[in-house]
Amino acid sequence: MSDIKRPFIISTDTTADLPEEFVKENKLTLHRLHYIVDGTTYGDDIELDIKDFFNRMRNGATVSTFATNPDKSKEIFRKQLSEGYDVLHIAFSSGLSSACNNAEIAAKEVLPEFPGARIEVIDSLCASGGQGLYVWYALELQKAGKSMDEVISWLKENKLHLCHSFTVDDLEYLHRGGRISKTVKIFGTLLNVKPVLHVDNEGKLVPVKNVRGRKKSLISLVDQMEEHIGSFKSKDENRLIVITHGDCREDAEFVRDEVKKRFGYENFMISDLSPTIGSHAGPGTVALFYLGRER
């Protein structure tokens, strides 16, 4: 490895669900995951407006997804290294996608072309705003002058402190994705059951509990936060709270206000679910992300 320290770039995947203005402001490179709606593939040159995407889902569109293309990732890495940068890539959870593995393959194939350069791929074990929050902290450390190794050290130390809580409004989409049976979907819908889920230490989406009614499910996200936040209650520790939603901003704002009321936090990022995440969770999904004692 060369003794000359090269500047480094932080990149991630579109599944980090970061607002477009944030991505532009931070010149953040995104590796794109793709989605298919009624036979048309989106994610590269064409994108659906997010409201249009969720409305199509509500109207019964057939939706599926597939991971990043290693060749596309190679193009991105090759360009960054040729411009004199090392790369720290924070990937979508390996428990939910092959995107991380694809990035590792791409990095391994590109690196021999650039002696002395580095590409470090971090498996975030995170999804949606959890991945976005992980990236946000990495960028903040970089802006504070931390080296790539120092940023990586923080990421590894805090990976399993990135807490994720989700709730969905319609069980149909979890059923389509194979996460619940048809029987559970039918009876859950009849009883107005709303599941609360989280991303576990293996980066997989798993159910935590069921509650009756939409409002209770939203409050349950904040209850989960109170259970898991531990010593991270301080605003110095939890410097940003992220909330993502599937075309239901009012519900996201309700959760924000409950978090404010209970903990006094003031720094929030509210953003749309990406189509990749939204394809599996569906419209009406609300998710809350923060640093906590444990997932």
Q: How far apart are the first and last CA of the chain?
A: 36
The residues facing 269 across adjacent strands are 242
- 161-291 CATH: 3.30.1180.10
- How much is the pLDDT for 137? 98
For 127, how many CA atoms within 13 A lie in the half-sphere containing its CB? 32
- Cβ(140)–Cβ(290) under 8 Å? no
* Secondary structure class of 32 (helix, strand, coil): coil
Q: How far apart are CA 14 and CA 43, in angstroms?
A: 9
Confidence (pLDDT) at 18:
98
Residue-level pLDDT at 53: 97
Say which CATH architecture domain 8-158 belongs to.
3-Layer(aba) Sandwich (3.40)
Q: Using DSSP, state whether 259 is helix, strand or coil.
A: helix
Residue 68: predicted pLDDT: 87
Give the tens place of pLDDT for each residue, 222-246.
999 999 999 999 988 999 999 999 9
What ranges do the domains of the chain cover?
Answer: 8-158, 161-291
Q: Tell me, yes or no, if the pTM score tops 0.85.
A: yes
**158, 291 contact by CB (below 8 A):** yes
At residue 4, the pLDDT reads 63
Along the 295 residues of the chain, how does pLDDT read in single tens digits? 445 679 999 999 999 999 999 999 999 999 999 999 999 999 887 899 999 999 999 999 999 999 888 999 999 999 999 999 999 999 999 999 999 999 999 999 999 999 999 999 999 999 999 999 999 999 999 999 999 999 999 999 999 999 999 999 887 776 666 655 665 555 466 567 888 999 999 999 888 888 999 999 999 999 999 999 999 999 889 999 999 999 999 999 999 999 999 999 999 999 999 999 999 899 999 999 999 999 9
pLDDT of residue 33: 96
| 173 neighbors 188 (Cβ within 8 angstroms) | no
> What backbone torsions phi and psi does residue 120 show, to the nearest 5 degrees?
-110, 120
pLDDT value at position 185? 56
